[in-house]
Amino acid sequence: MTRRTSAAPKPTRQTSGGSALNSKPSVATTRRAEARPEPKLHPPGGSNDGAKPAPGTTRPGGPSLRDLIREADTGPQIDDTDLARSLLETLLARGQVGVLLPILADEVRRLRRRHVRQVEQQTFRGQSEPAEGGWLRLLPEFFTVPDGRMVTWGTATVEDHEARMEWLHGQIHALASDVDRHEQAVKLIREHGVTCLAEIEAAV
């Protein structure tokens, strides 16, 4: 007489919380998932705006977008639109469209920030104090602090405002340095009596 043995149950993988991965979700879990609201995006409104750059600037095993631009850039004879078209064709052919994600993220950030800036300008109207009742409209709008967090005007702390101010002062300094470089170029051109920097060597 042969002894019948029952098949051993298949082991189930456990998650860090101890629940089996192949188990069905509970009714409570399903209801919580159904009740979770979709994330709300603010209407279009910024630049990088102090936020950390989006991840994924390179495709694993492929060149970065910066490398592709340098590869395709032939100088001022090609404008931005034609260069972008060339890059898009290259990325499509290579299956590397994911490289464009940081660019799209930056554009989304820029448009969202532009909307908020309009509300800020309408609230303060060029004054240090907002118009009467202006705070109510501004409170739900957000701005980005240097550590990448987005905080609303209504919940931002003193530290949040000061961090934002410090970042903005850095942008002002960068713009002032850019102005200085152009002023130096103008000074050199006038001192040598030429029309552009490229003519200075021949004039010496």
Which residues, at least 6 apart from 103, have a Cβ–Cβ distance to it below 8 Å?
Answer: 65
Alpha-carbon torsion angle 144, 42, 152, 46, nearest 10: 30
Asked if pLDDT for residue 122 goes beyond 80, the answer is: yes
**Which element (helix H / strand E) includes 184?**
helix 158-192
pLDDT recorded at residue 52: 52
- Mean pLDDT rounded to a whole number for the chain: 74
Which of 127-131, 146-150, 166-170, 185-189 is least confident?
127-131
- 24-58 pLDDT tens trace: 444 444 443 344 333 333 333 334 465 554 444 44
Which of 48-62, 76-90, 100-114, 131-145 is least confident?
48-62
Mean predicted confidence (pLDDT) in 134-143: 87
pLDDT recorded at residue 169: 96
